[in-house]
Structure 1
Amino acid sequence: MTDRPDTLDPDLAAVVEAFEASGVPEWHTLDIESARRLEDDLFGADRTTPVAYTRDVAVEGPNGPVSVRAVRPEAAGELPVVVFYHGGLWALGTLDSVEDICRELADRVPAVVLAADYRLAPEHPFPAGLDDCVAAYEWAREHADAFGGDTDRVSVAGTSAGGNLAAGVARRCRDGGLPAPERQALLYPMVDDDFDRPSYRENADGPLLTRDAVEHFWGEYVRSPVDRANPYVAPLRGDASGLAPATVVTAGFDPLRDEGTAYAEALAGAGVAVDHRHYPSMCHGFLSLTDEVAVADGAMADLAADLGGE
């Protein structure tokens, strides 16, 4: 278990106070289409980091095309590649809502970032989204050079449910004989459905993510009780040996804190090189707040260094 202080970081507390004062309802209390519109309205407008260009391409997936948005920074030369999977509890999120953090990663690493628009639950429960994420990774390994990316240096990254999917892609690579990612960056990832951990009690009401929302959307993503023990759904329950090197980011005020910590420990215990970067005074989603929160800005710099191989 990773401890947390008594109070949020002051910069973050101001952001949370403003967010909560706006009266945004909890995601799980809305019907799915309303929740998706709200998420896109809240996070789909910002484009604060300049880049050379963005391009949308259609990648062949197992059940039709998968949309991928390529973000090329203004840096010159051949760059590493990061395939990015957005969060949103497997049910929310679009390429627009994730573009800002992808622009920032692209600029800071610097890297070509490829964001995958995987199929969402509940219409498409496990394993549909993961299958799309693997397809996007395989495409990057063959075609990222079209955007000046080095197809021999491809990492995966994701926030929250996207961290779960990034971990699943790394596991599929190991088990299916695909080239391993250079790194898996798991940012406050969902990796198990054990809601009895202390972090779920301490942070049941958030901020920015609640236990009730996590429990609800687990039920939307995983329709079979058998699948809940599947390591492609719950990576913490599987053998971690032989997986790609990892960065695991956790936050003290996040319901997901303890499972992320446990996964970092499981990776290390299995001999995987892992950097566990814990930020005690932060909450879920803090890496999207680099403009407002100094600790988040520093955390993004650390993440960029990991993905750039520094």
Structure 2
Amino acid sequence: MPLDPGAQRVLDLIRSFGRPPLHELTPAEARAGNVAARPLLQPDPPDVAMVAELACPGPAGPVRLRHYRGRGTADGAVLPCLLYLHGGGWVIGDLDSHDQICRSLANHLGAAVIAVDYRLAPEARFPAAVEDAVAALQFVASEAARLAIDPARIAVGGDSAGGNLAAVLALMGRDGTVPAPGFQMLLYPATDMVGNTPSTQRFTEGYPLTAAGMRWFIDHYAPDRAQRMDWRASPLRAASLAGTPPAFVMTCGHDPLLDEGIAYARRLDEEGVAVTHLHVADQMHAYLGMGRLVPAADLTLRQAAAALRLHWRLD
């Protein structure tokens, strides 16, 4: 499937800048490049009913959170909540990198979204991001009344590395080690740090995420190869996915993570988990953060939100 014209414009823009590929940069350089690209790629953040900065206790100190309430929601109304983990390969990204995505989801859901600023590698390696995600979920569940959140309708979600963390939280909730989320929203998720799939071999250059770029991320986050087999790093390697909550899984065609995302959606289905799998054949990894040039980004966010609204019986 040919690449979407908007996504192709992004690739042309990247080439015009002549930047080295991700795997040739230091983490600091990669983060600076991500910040510089945001105004060029992201649309203006939409207004929401409320944005509030929060923090919760974490294993290495406070974990920053950002609480959004969708436009049109009543002040003080008890809302369902999506706990959102940002993408960026466990190395890049923060509350600001995904502010526009979280605002859009809050509005499309007509609900609350709480974003998590988990620790990044290589300064904090696996399982630091998992530990901070756990702390955030425990906080939202325990403080639901104060936050005007319905504790019976808490979902987890995220894109790429954030989808990885959301899948892990869903497994932990199934096992009773964290409050059990009721839904998992996995957007082009990373699910396996070990496998060498055909899609990994196919996307080797010219894209925002390539096979070499993914290896760069994994080497920073989980340099110990034995840890990569841990299901908290590679949820596709969990012995069973049965009993995890209903899922929305999105994959895209021009993405080295394509095959592992498809494999995760297939396993969920085969093991009795209700799953909606959306495959966007003409898009590339990370396009959800490129809505200024890729209008389909907002359509996908609307589709993900619609699946969650249906689960929450908001429609």
**1:30 Cα offset (Å):** 1.4
Contact 1:158 1:185 in 2 (8 A): yes
User: C-alpha distance in 2, partners of 1:27/1:213?
Assistant: 6
User: C-alpha distance in 2, partners of 1:129/1:186?
Assistant: 16
1:52 corresponds, among 44, 49, 52, to 49
Partner of 1:280: 281
User: C-alpha distance in 1, partners of 2:151/2:170?
Assistant: 16
Which segment is superposed worse, 254-263 or 37-46? 37-46
AA aligned to 1:27 is L
**1:46 Cα offset (Å):** 5.7
Contact 1:111 1:149 in 2 (8 A): no
Superposed, 1:6-155 pairs within 5 Å as 7-43=2-38, 47-76=44-73, 77-155=77-155
AA aligned to 2:220 is E
Runs of at least 5 residues in structure 2 that lack an aligned partner in the other structure: none
User: C-alpha distance in 1, partners of 2:125/2:155?
Assistant: 25
**1:184 Cα offset (Å):** 0.6
User: C-alpha distance in 1, partners of 2:199/2:192?
Assistant: 13
Partner of 1:271: 272
AA aligned to 1:31 is T
**1:307 Cα offset (Å):** 1.9
**1:195 Cα offset (Å):** 5.0
Partner of 2:249: 248
User: C-alpha distance in 1, partners of 2:14/2:139?
Assistant: 38
**1:288 Cα offset (Å):** 2.3
Are 1:307 and 2:304 an aligned pair?
Answer: no
User: C-alpha distance in 2, partners of 1:176/1:20?
Assistant: 47
Q: Write out per-residue CA displacement over residues 25-66 of structure 1, whole angstroms, 9 at most, x where no aligned residue.
A: 322211122222222232378642111221111101122111
User: C-alpha distance in 1, partners of 2:176/2:264?
Assistant: 21
Which segment is superposed worse, 208-217 or 8-17? 8-17
Contact 2:30 2:92 in 1 (8 A): yes
**1:144 Cα offset (Å):** 3.9
Aligned-partner SS, 1:265 = helix
Partner of 1:214: 214
AA aligned to 2:138 is E
User: C-alpha distance in 1, partners of 2:49/2:185?
Assistant: 24
Q: Write out per-residue CA displacement over residues 230-279 of structure 1, whole angstroms, 9 at most, x where no aligned residue.
A: 11110111111111111111000001000000010111111111111101
Supply the RMSD in Å over aligned alpha carbons: 1.8
Q: Write out per-residue CA displacement over residues 89-115 of structure 1, whole angstroms, 9 at most, x where no aligned residue.
A: 111111111111101101111221111
> Please, what TM-score do these two structures have when normalized by structure 1?
0.92
Which segment is superposed worse, 201-210 or 242-251? 201-210
Aligned-partner SS, 2:98 = helix
User: C-alpha distance in 1, partners of 2:104/2:158?
Assistant: 14
Aligned residues: 305
**1:23 Cα offset (Å):** 2.7
Contact 2:246 2:274 in 1 (8 A): yes
Contact 2:193 2:229 in 1 (8 A): no
User: C-alpha distance in 2, partners of 1:99/1:21?
Assistant: 27
AA aligned to 1:301 is R
> How many percent of aligned residue pairs carry the same amino acid?
39
Partner of 2:164: 164
Aligned-partner SS, 2:123 = coil
Indicate how the Cα distance of structure 1 residues 75 and 145 shifts in structure 2: closer, same or farther if over 3 A, else same: farther
AA aligned to 1:305 is A
Indicate how the Cα distance of structure 1 residues 115 and 265 shifts in structure 2: closer, same or farther if over 3 A, else same: same
Q: Write out per-residue CA displacement over residues 177-213 of structure 1, whole angstroms, 9 at most, x where no aligned residue.
A: 4332121111111111245311112222252111101
Contact 1:206 1:253 in 2 (8 A): no
AA aligned to 1:72 is R
AA aligned to 1:279 is V
Indicate how the Cα distance of structure 1 residues 293 and 225 shifts in structure 2: closer, same or farther if over 3 A, else same: closer
Contact 2:187 2:251 in 1 (8 A): yes
> Please, what TM-score do these two structures have when normalized by structure 2?
0.91
Aligned-partner SS, 1:282 = strand
Contact 1:206 1:254 in 2 (8 A): no
Runs of at least 5 residues in structure 1 that lack an aligned partner in the other structure: none
Partner of 2:184: 184
Superposed, 1:225-264 pairs within 5 Å as 225-238=225-238, 239-264=240-265
